[in-house]
Structure 1
């Protein structure tokens, strides 16, 4: 499934993975989250509820990854890489921004991000 993320004047396109967690996330769309900065590498926002487990948990990420972190329950968008790994229980990748994730560097601190299905 294709999704669109809008933060201020920034509009980014992404594709969700085909796993149970990503499908459950898609059921929440459209969604606007207040996303905060963490470690100058990611924007994260608190979801209204936990998501179904079903994607592969891992401790690494790539720039452009949209992930689910279950203890939050939060999603995060990685816009930079600091070489650090993610602590237990790890993350589940929901999808990936095709290009332009580094645009989040212009939003210092908190930004409202609207996420909606495109198809």
Structure 2
């Protein structure tokens, strides 16, 4: 009987050591994740990692000198002898998308609300908000799935949705399209 008790005690000791080690690792991962989140949030606010870790952080702003300013950049979507004109927003995701143009993509309807397509490259989500509440005419990128989405009906807030631009003309050309359709996307002069 003594041998059985010793085996049980040994098993309990090894199990408790394993659980303690796992819990310690989870705490380290949680602490690391929290620090990363704090640094990411502070970087969005213009605070560097060094400033966030010491008590005397100062207000600072991100330096955008020398960045490529986008003013009145528009793209044209051409399909079925129709056109849609989109006025692009000035953000890193939009710039990344523009660098891929010209493109020919196949769009399809999704949920009777939006037309979607999957470009071959994922776009940057740098400096992107956590999500947006799209409105009719928004030209967007849904980062979790890696797809473009053009809203022709209202939709609720979506995490991971990034606005690339807004349709300035031709939204009516999208609403009644059924099935898949090819779209040529190019910058306008």
CA contact (8 A) 1:4 1:115 kept: yes
Residue 51 of structure 1 deviates from its aligned partner by: 0.7
Work out whether 1:71 is the aligned partner of 2:144: yes
Relative contact order, higher structure (CA 8 A, sep 6+): 1
Residue 100 of structure 1 deviates from its aligned partner by: 2.7
How many Å separate the matches in 1 of 2:108 and 2:130? 23
RMSD between aligned alpha carbons? 1.4
Listed as ranges, the gaps of 5+ residues in structure 2 are 1-72
How many Å separate the matches in 2 of 1:80 and 1:104? 11
CA contact (8 A) 1:42 1:78 kept: yes
Q: Could you say which residue in structure 1 is the equivalent of 2:170?
A: 100
Q: In the alignment, which of 20, 29, 33 is matched to residue 92 of structure 2?
A: 20
CA shift digits 1:35-56 (9 cap, x unpaired): 1100111100001111111332
Question: Matched residue of 1:14: which SS?
Answer: strand
Q: What is the total number of aligned residue pairs between the two structures? A: 116
Question: Which protein is richer in strand relative to its size?
Answer: 1
Larger mean Cα displacement after TM superposition, 15-24 or 4-13: 4-13
Residue 117 of structure 1 deviates from its aligned partner by: 0.4
Listed as ranges, the gaps of 5+ residues in structure 1 are none
How many Å separate the matches in 1 of 2:106 and 2:130? 25
* Larger Rg, first or second structure (1 or 2): 2
Q: Could you say which residue in structure 1 is the equivalent of 2:14?
A: none
Question: Which protein is richer in helix relative to its size?
Answer: 2
4+ residue stretches of structure 1 with deviation over 6 A?
A: none
How many Å separate the matches in 2 of 1:62 and 1:7? 22
How many Å separate the matches in 1 of 2:130 and 2:93? 11
Q: TM-score, normalised by structure 1?
A: 0.89
Question: Matched residue of 2:96: which SS?
Answer: helix
